[in-house]
Chains A and B, each alone.
Chain A
Amino acid sequence: MNEFLHMGGYARFVWPSYALTLAIVVLNIIWARRSLARARADARRRLLRADAHP
């Protein structure tokens, strides 16, 4: 296990690379879902306003 983490001495390059990439992967998922949620909320608000002032 230790050998695995050590990555033949390259640990301080390999693990940050993986960490960053995975962080960006996760961030994009959160970002995308939030963008959709915001768009849906805006659309809902617009519909309510349209209903109130026909």
Chain B
Amino acid sequence: MAWTWFHRLASPPHVYALATRLTPWFAWPAAALIVAGLYAGLVLAPPDYQQGDGFRIIYVHAPSAWMSLMVYVTMASAAAVGLIWRMKVAHAVAASCAPIGASFTVAALVTGSLWGRPMWGTYWEWDPRLTSELILLFLYLGYMALRSAIDEVQRADRASALLAVVGVVNVPIIHYSVLWWNSLHQAPSVMKLAKPEMPAAMLLPLLMMLAGFTLYFGALLLVRLRGEILRRERSASWIREALTE
């Protein structure tokens, strides 16, 4: 019983139809959560006693950073599935993730930099956190560069999938190295917003934004996925029907 569900996910026409149907179920709640979260974060939440209104950057910075990491993990997982089970659909998912992840890594870096200027006094620090996020951006760019360098879709899929999986090994290494690198270089006064310490009025908008962005990623992924599936289905008969809708 459970197997049928999994096997159907390997079928491109089934996934295509599913993606088409599911997109509004992700898109509209995402929009609602983001709009509500923006209002709650910008208007309702009280100013921070230390950072004043400057802390409100968190409502765009944290979701961006979250996106940059979550999307990479999704991409690498899909890549692994595609490599192991040779599923075209999985490779299509991985391909759909990369541009989204890369652009939100840029967003995380820039918003983080703008937040750092008034709080730390500088637009950039070779803080391990910032550096590892920058490396993440390079990983995304390398992935996209490799994809575009190989003409044949199947080979591009498998080569970039291997790269994504190898890159994931790097991520915990980088985050772990934060401890050692920190001991040699003085750590800047990193602002830590430990979740339990945050008052509800500030925390709630953050959670809404995080949830909203996650659903938004789902919607984007489903839209891109349809295109990537079409690209990998040369002349299958189901496409004819799919294109007339």
Contacts and interface: CB of A to CB of B under 8 A. Distances in A.
Given A8-B47, A28-B100, A47-B240, A17 B227 contact: no
Given A13-B118, A17-B61, A47-B243, A40 B53 contact: no
Contacts of A14: 53-54, 56-57
Interface residues of A, number: 33
A24 B56 contact: no
A9 B235 contact: no
B64 A7 contact: no
B211 interface: no
Contact of B230 (A8, A22, A25, A40): A40
Interface string B58-87: 001101100000000000000000000000
Majority SS at the chain B contact face: helix
Size class of the contact patch on chain B: 35 or more
Majority SS at the chain A contact face: helix
A32 B181 CA distance: 39
Contacts of B130: none
A50 to B, nearest CB: 5
Contacts of A43: 230-231, 233, 239, 243
B43 A17 contact: no
Contact of A32 (B104, B106, B223): B223
Interface of A: 4, 7-10, 13-14, 16-18, 20-22, 24-25, 27-29, 31-33, 35-40, 42-44, 46-47, 50
16 contacts: A4-B43, A7-B52, A7-B53, A7-B54, A8-B47, A8-B53, A10-B53, A13-B57, A13-B117, A16-B114, A32-B220, A32-B223, A36-B227, A37-B227, A43-B239, A47-B240
